[in-house]
Amino acid sequence: MAEVPKATGLDFSDKMVVIVGGILAAMALAVLNPVLPSIDKALSHSPADSSLVRQLFGFTSLAMAVGAPLGAWASKQFGMRRMLIVASLLYAIAGTAGLYLNTLPLLLVSRLAVGACAAAIQVMSLTLINTRCEGNDRAKWMGIHVSVATLITLPISPLSGVLGRISWHLPFGLYAVSLALTVVLLASARDGEGAEGRAAAAAAGADRDSILSWFPWHYFPLSLLLGAMTFMPTAYGPFLLAENAHMGPAGIGLVLMGGALMGAGLSSQYGRARRTLNSHQAFAFSFTLAGIGAMTAALTSSIPLLIAGLLAHAIGVSWFVPNIMTALGAKLTAARQARAAGLVKTAHFLSAPLCIYLKDTLLGNSGASTAMLSVGVIAFGMLMLMLVRMATAGKAEAPVPAK
């Protein structure tokens, strides 16, 4: 695995990191969702406890916001391979702690470790794509990264739901899968000392420039809002299905599986779509579908329409990450990619705990429907801004070239 990535394409070890990094990040959140209502029933003894249960998801995302830039820093200091070995090992230890923990505070602490490790690994995945790929190849691998990460929730969500019917502890055993990455990394070739020296030399010029001077800062609030539209339905969707459709963990898992399948199908076609669509047009499509789905789920009293709305939302958000990361990669030099990716992912992951906190603080126990309605309002607001941007940008941004 090269420490000084060049736009020469991904080799085998790079592809493994790209694929596994997305899987571990997806599992950090997907394993927990079907059993959130069950954990709430088992461990909540007050409204404050119920808020903490919802923050199991939010705290994981909060830790991801910290782990994203931390991963970029640790990779530079200790080498990508060493960082990935330690992160994948800690991911397994902290993730499986849910098998035996029975108190909410300790469970929250374990989720912090899982989130930080998952984000550190994923940032390296995205950095590899943006530094070693160009043109449509970059868009293609961004789509593959997201689609594989989404597809892994197909067996994970229902499996977590089935295990959750036996005991809410059992799904946490699935986090041991990261040990496979640890073994692969230990067996792979070590990072060369010369490579690390060349990496430091290549980044020296970029390090002298403050990130305040070169980072496209409108990407930070954009990523924050994309995260809000992605993670709030993921956190509140299971409660909406439990409250309005009276579903148990297995049923919730099946609905999540359907959304993952459809979202993965669309994200796998992102590279092909970018040959004809620019990033603004891709965002407009995504905002429209996500907004319609969220509004439908929030306002309907029909169970089929509720499920259809959640599925439409899952399809709509599937282009968010590949679109923003592909656009970001085209704007920056290779030496700046890791720090930029870490900052964008920080905003993306920070949105979940921030939005859950604001919703619970400002709206109280208004229910999951209110959360979904808020997502719909954000999505349509972003659509209006994007349409204005497309109308006033002058010369339209070009689609991604095939090569």
Lowest mean pLDDT among 16-30, 107-121, 315-329: 16-30
Q: Is 117 helix (H, G, I), strand (E, B) or coil?
A: helix
Please write the tens of the pLDDT for every residue from 5-55.
Answer: 455 677 777 788 888 888 898 888 778 878 888 888 888 778 877 877 877
Residue 260: alpha-carbon gap to chain centroid: 13
* Residue 346 contacts residue 65 (beta carbons within 8 Å): yes
Residue 238, pLDDT above cutoff 70: yes
Nearest to 23 by CA among 151, 116, 149: 149
Confidence class for position 293, pLDDT limits 50, 70, 90: very high
The percentage of the chain sitting over the pLDDT mark of 90, rounded to a whole number, equals 25
pLDDT value, residue 350: 81
Q: For residue 33, what are its two tokens?
A: 């969702």
Q: Give pLDDT, residue 11.
A: 75
CA angle 246, 247, 253 (to 5 degrees): 160
Q: Rounded to an integer, what distance in angstroms lies between the CA atom of residue 401 and that of residue 403?
A: 5
CA triplet 395, 398, 403: central angle to 5 degrees? 155
Average pLDDT over residues 353-358: 74
Task: Spell out the domains of the chain, with CATH numbers in brackets.
Answer: 12-201+219-392 (1.20.1250.20)
Specify the pLDDT at position 287: 97
Classify the phi-psi angles of 101: left when phi > 0, otherwise alpha if psi is within -120 to 50, otherwise beta: beta
pLDDT greater than 50 at residue 4:
no
pTM of the model: 0.76
**Burial of residue 193 (number of CB atoms within 10 Å: 0-12, 13-18, 19+):** exposed
CA distance 325 to 150: 16
Could you tell me the pLDDT band of residue 387, with boundaries at 50, 70 and 90?
very high
Tens of pLDDT along 150-172? 787 678 877 888 898 888 889 99
In which region does residue 246 sit, left (phi positive, over 0), alpha (psi from -120 to 50) or beta (all else)?
A: left
What's the burial of 100, exposed, middle or buried (CB within 10 Å: 0-12/13-18/19+)? exposed
Task: Give, for 386, the enclosing helix (H) or strand (E).
Answer: helix 368-392
Provide the H-helix boundaries in 44-100: 47-78, 80-95
